[in-house]
Copies of this chain bind each other. A is one copy, B any other.
């Protein structure tokens, strides 16, 4: 089967301008053209497009994706190089996920901070030394004082220390 740029755009959840932009940036060297100069995508091209999609969503710059695609077109000699690239990219992504989890931790601490503030009617409870209050959900009592948030994990532990 052959597919026009419009069909491919719809299937990939993008638009034709973006695909043309990718083509111009060297991400689609595998795409054929018909007699009229129009792009004709093949079934196999979707394998490439999925790789592009994955790397894009993983935060890989367009230029670097192009390099990988071109490695793919160079045949079996670049198999190891391609493996090594993906291996490295896997570690980069894992690191990003770890970083996101840290921000989630912080976000959850701040949610707790605001939940208890809303409950108390004021943010001041977190700045008043030794204020006791009760978590409205768990009904646990806490004593807590906000200093500098140098280590948020430490603060979270501090925050959940029951009296």
Residues of A contacting B: mostly: helix
Contact call B58/A115, Cβ cutoff below 8 A = no
Contacts of A47 in B (CB 8 A): 146, 148-149
Please report the C-alpha to C-alpha distance between residue A54 and residue B108 in the assembled complex, in whole angstroms: 11
Q: Chain A 123-148 against B: per-residue CB contact (8 Å), 1 yes, 0 no?
A: 10000000000000000000000101
Contact call A108/B123, Cβ cutoff below 8 A = no
Distance from A148 Cβ to chain B, minimum over Cβ atoms (Å): 6
Counting contact residues on chain A (CB < 8 A from B), the size range is 35 or more
Minimal Cβ-Cβ distance residue in B for A92:
B107
Minimal Cβ-Cβ distance residue in B for A150:
B46
Minimal Cβ-Cβ distance residue in B for A94:
B104
Contact call A114/B50, Cβ cutoff below 8 A = no
Residues of A near any B CB (own CB < 8 A): 43, 46-47, 50-51, 54, 57-58, 75-76, 79-80, 82-83, 86-87, 89-90, 93-94, 96-97, 99-104, 106-108, 110-111, 114-115, 117-118, 121-123, 146, 148-149, 152
